[in-house]
Amino acid sequence: MADKERRPRERPRREAAGGTPPEAPEPPGNRADQFRGRALSRRALLAGTASFAGLTAAEALLAPLQAQLPSVPEDPTRVPGTAPSPYGTRAAFEQAIRLATASHSLTPLESLHGIVTPSSLHFERHHNGVPLIDPARHRLLIHGLVGRSMIFTLDELKRFPSVSRLAFIECSGNTAGEWHEPGGRTVQQTHGLLSTSEWTGVALATVLREAGIKPEATWMLAEGSDAAAMTRSIPLAPVLDEALLCYAQNGEALRPEQGYPLRLLLPGWEGNANIKWLRRLKLGPAPFMTREETSHYTDLMPDGTARQFTLVMDAKSVITNPSGGQRVRRGFVEIRGLAWSGRGRVTRVEVSTDAGRTWQQASLQDPVLPKCATSFRLPWRWDGRETVLQSRCTDETGYVQPGREALVAARGVNSVYHYHAIQSWKVSPDGTVENVHV
Ligand code: CO
């Protein structure tokens, strides 16, 4: 059905009336320079992603995007509009896309507004692809140190009290390209493994109470039904108040790539622990030491030891506009960005427009919710001189997002995961913005 809807509509009457099809308007935002006439310039996009491994996927997405652009009437008040449709799609002129590789895709943070990520642009990270699951046949097994083992269908889970909350999910590998040299060109490439949704499901505590938690149960194994059988050990006490077994995202069923029909949500915890396609929870007296917490998802320290079970995402922020690959114009610029912390609410975001010499407090946009992305903004006047823009987040525990030097001094450069240092965007006199380490 989607393909049919996306086919360009037949050339309308106005051509017969002698009108020349006008050029499609340029999409709003800072990416206008990437567009040439009616279509996203293939060369511009390829140049823009030259350093990104997802080139092929991005390239493959270009053809359908170009095919979608409709011809536009001179005056929309003179032509009847289209009829309602069973399932909506965005305007054909809107071209923000995820950049995808075989194993992950990145959210285009610089093109989004507010805090909620459209479900279709939520980042993805799969360990062996997106499984195809029949919700009618899907089951959740709960066993181990419980009073009685139980198996739930989705319908049974949906009969429990339904809980909704907004929460970010961030891959622990987000910004991993920044440990050594500036890696990503754009904020999508540096920070795009971060997205925020309204999640709906049943509280984990509600379902576990039904099975009965034995006193010696302190850890929980969560297992997905993907081809990797993605499996993590979760300490029970810190998550029991907040964890959800989710069946919905932004008002509708989960997207397949977000775990349809059931996923675990652990607000503030690293993305991979939020097990998608959830099929099994086993309670035990100790961590289960799966490959995901031995070979993967540990953080190598300079002394050769590794941090393990680093599950909570540290306070972090990034300026999304202006950001790498964009162009700043002289005069008034509203600096905009996102801040988040896995430990609670964001209490303050400071922005520097002079490479960290001075800091100004940014405005936080309501709602400011715990373990949820928070929008910030600061009015600025650019005088045309070279400078560096930075943001710094403080959360309700008093933790302050570190600079690069402080983070590297504490953890070295081999952690791979949990890079959350202050991001620097250099603005050159010609207005171009690039990722730098200062
Ligand atoms: Co970790």
Per residue in 130-181, pLDDT (tens digit) is 999 999 999 999 999 999 999 999 999 999 999 999 999 999 999 999 999 9
State in Å: Cα 417 to ligand 1 middle: 6
Same domain, 186 and 38: no
- Looking at 50-54, 221-225, 253-257, 310-314, which range is the least confident one? 50-54
What's the whole-model pTM score? 0.85
State in Å: Cα 267 to ligand 1 middle: 14
State in Å: Cα 23 to ligand 1 middle: 49
Domain-embedded: residue 14: yes
Band of residue 64 on the pLDDT scale cut at 50, 70, 90 = low
State in Å: Cα 308 to ligand 1 middle: 7
State in Å: Cα 346 to ligand 1 middle: 20
State in Å: Cα 293 to ligand 1 middle: 9
Q: What pLDDT, on the 0 to 100 scale, is given for residue 295?
A: 83
Domain-embedded: residue 133: no
What CATH number corresponds to the domain at position 374? 2.60.40.650
Q: Which residues contact 260 (CB under 8 A, 6 or more apart)?
A: 133, 135, 253, 254, 277
**Of the residues 32, 67, 95, the one at which a domain ends:** 95
What distance in Å separates the CA atoms of residue 278 and residue 133, rounded to the nearest whole number? 11
Same domain, 273 and 330: no
Same domain, 320 and 255: no
Tell me the per-residue pLDDT of 75-126, one tens digit each, with 9 for 90 and over. Answer: 999 999 999 999 999 999 999 999 999 999 999 999 999 999 999 999 999 9
Domain-embedded: residue 106: no
**Of the residues 253, 274, 307, the one at which a domain ends:** 307
State in Å: Cα 252 to ligand 1 middle: 29
In the predicted model, is pLDDT for residue 65 greater than 70?
no
State in Å: Cα 310 to ligand 1 middle: 4
Domain-embedded: residue 376: yes
State in Å: Cα 295 to ligand 1 middle: 12
State in Å: Cα 298 to ligand 1 middle: 6
Same domain, 198 and 289: yes
State in Å: Cα 316 to ligand 1 middle: 15
Same domain, 233 and 347: no
- Enter the tokens of residue 21: 């099809």
State in Å: Cα 418 to ligand 1 middle: 6
> Could you tell me the residue range of the domain that residue 349 belongs to?
316-436
Same domain, 152 and 301: yes
Same domain, 172 and 196: yes
Domain-embedded: residue 298: yes
In the predicted model, is pLDDT for residue 16 greater than 50?
no
* Mean pLDDT of all residues belonging to the chain: 88
Same domain, 331 and 192: no
Same domain, 232 and 335: no
Domain-embedded: residue 365: yes
Domain-embedded: residue 127: no
State in Å: Cα 18 to ligand 1 middle: 63
State in Å: Cα 360 to ligand 1 middle: 31
Same domain, 234 and 276: yes
What CATH number corresponds to the domain at position 207? 3.90.420.10
**Of the residues 279, 307, 335, the one at which a domain ends:** 307
Domain-embedded: residue 327: yes
Q: What pLDDT, on the 0 to 100 scale, is given for residue 187?
A: 98
When divided into structural domains, the chain yields a total of 3
Same domain, 282 and 333: no
Same domain, 200 and 299: yes
